[in-house]
Each structure stands twice: as C-alpha cells, then as structure tokens.
Amino acid sequence: MVDIFGKSYFINIDEIIKKCRPDYGTKDFDETKNPQQVKKGEDGESVLELNVFKFEVFKACIERLLNEYEEVDETLGAFAEKNTSISFKMAFNTLLKYEILSEYDNEQ
C-alpha cells in the first residue's frame, strides 16, 4: 500500500476492466451485472473488448500518479498538499471518481 495525503490506496484492476468495456453504462451492461463476462470469438476462444480511449486515459492517470508523487512533509499539513501539481491532482481525482484507486481500510 502507498500513503497519499495520509491515507492508504490500491489500484483496483477489476474496475479498470469494468469501466473500459464498450457497453459500460448501457442497459445491456446493467442487466448482466457481470464485469467479467467475456464474449466468444469465431474460433470459440474468449475475447475481451475494451474501449481503447478509456483504457489509455486511465493508464496515463496511473502513470502520472506513480511517477510524480513525492512524499509530503507531514508537519506542513494542508500546506504540503499545495505543492502537488494540477496534473497529479487531476489524475488522482479521476482515479478516485471512477473507483479505480480505492482506499485501503487498515482496520480489517
């Protein structure tokens, strides 16, 4: 786990796959409720379809988050958070909103 702004987070891989499916948010997706449902190709092998644009955006956000975060001085409190860049904040908030970055509950 990594601590960001005093909380522990992990990357939820299943959410990335779920959110990148082309039918995500449609009636068909809501009826199946199974993010792991995979279509069969012509030869009978499993085929997972992903929206490449969404995948690349999430991938860029994750790369930004992993490459640019610096440990902040805990003694500075709220003032230390102002040192992070806008692109880091956008990537962090995007991943939180889409539930790709999930808070880890240490008390379990």
pLDDT in tens, the chain (108 residues): 667 777 889 999 999 998 998 888 788 777 666 655 667 777 878 778 889 999 999 999 999 988 876 655 555 555 555 677 888 889 999 999 999 999 888 665
Domain-by-domain residue ranges, the chain? 2-103
Note if the pTM is more than 0.85: no
Question: Do 100 and 12 form a contact (C-beta atoms < 8 A)?
Answer: yes
d(CA 106, CA 103): 9
Q: How far is CA 71 from CA 13, 75, 86, in A?
A: 24, 12, 16
